[in-house]
Amino acid sequence: MKRRTFIVEKPSRVEAVLRGALALARDEAIALVDRGAVYVDGRRAKDAAARVAEGAKVMVVLEESGEAVTSPAPKAPKLVVLYEDAEVLAVDKPPGVTAQPTPGRVGDSLVDLATAYLRRQAGLVHRLDRETSGVTIFGKTPRATSKLAAAFREGRAKKEYLAVTASGLPASGVIDLPLSKDPTRPGRWRASQTANGISAETHFTRLSDDGAVAVVALFPQTGRTHQLRAHLASLGFPIVGDKLYGGAEGPRCLLHAHCLEIDALSIEAPVPEEIARYLT
Residues 210 and 265 occupy one common structural domain: yes
Contact 245, 229 (CB under 8 A): yes
In a domain, 248, yes or no: yes
Residues 166 and 254 occupy one common structural domain: yes
CATH of residue 25's domain is 3.10.290.10
Whole-number pLDDT of residue 72 = 46
Residues 142 and 169 occupy one common structural domain: no
Q: How far, in Å, CA of 15 to CA of 33, rounded?
A: 8
Using DSSP, state whether 129 is helix, strand or coil. coil
Whole-number pLDDT of residue 105 = 52
Q: How far, in Å, CA of 272 to CA of 116, rounded?
A: 25
Q: Which residues of the chain have pLDDT under 70?
A: 1, 63-76, 102-107
Residue numbers of the domain that contains 29: 2-68
Q: How far, in Å, CA of 21 to CA of 18, rounded?
A: 5
Q: How far, in Å, CA of 47 to CA of 34, rounded?
A: 8
Contact 124, 142 (CB under 8 A): no
Residues 272 and 163 occupy one common structural domain: yes
Q: Cα angle vertex 139, ends 135, 140, to 5°?
A: 120
Residues 52 and 11 occupy one common structural domain: yes
User: How many domains would you assign to the chain?
Assistant: 3
Residues 272 and 168 occupy one common structural domain: yes
Looking at 43, 68, 93, the residue that finishes a domain is 68
Query: Mapped to the 3 state alphabet, what secondary structure does 131-191 carry?
Result: CCEEEEEEECCHHHHHHHHHHHHCCCEEEEEEEEEECCCCCEEEEECCEEECCCCCCCEEE
Query: Mapped to the 3 state alphabet, what secondary structure does 73-92 carry?
Result: CCCCCCCCEEEECCCEEEEE
Residues 122 and 144 occupy one common structural domain: yes
- The residues near 42 (Cβ < 8 Å, ≥ 6 apart) are 57, 59
Query: Of 250, 99, 44, nearest to 165 (Cα)?
Result: 250
Contact 111, 120 (CB under 8 A): no
CATH of residue 93's domain is 3.30.2350.10
Looking at 116, 134, 153, the residue that finishes a domain is 153
Using DSSP, state whether 2 is helix, strand or coil. strand
Q: How far, in Å, CA of 81 to CA of 168, rounded?
A: 36
Active site positions, annotated: 129
Residues 96 and 174 occupy one common structural domain: no
Residues 193 and 264 occupy one common structural domain: yes
Residues 47 and 12 occupy one common structural domain: yes
Query: Of 12, 1, 163, 150, nearest to 67 (Cα)?
Result: 1
- The residues near 52 (Cβ < 8 Å, ≥ 6 apart) are 8, 11, 12, 13, 14, 17, 40, 58
Whole-number pLDDT of residue 28 = 82
Whole-number pLDDT of residue 71 = 46
Backbone angles phi, psi at 29, to 5 degrees: -65, -45
Whole-number pLDDT of residue 63 = 62
Residues 137 and 89 occupy one common structural domain: yes
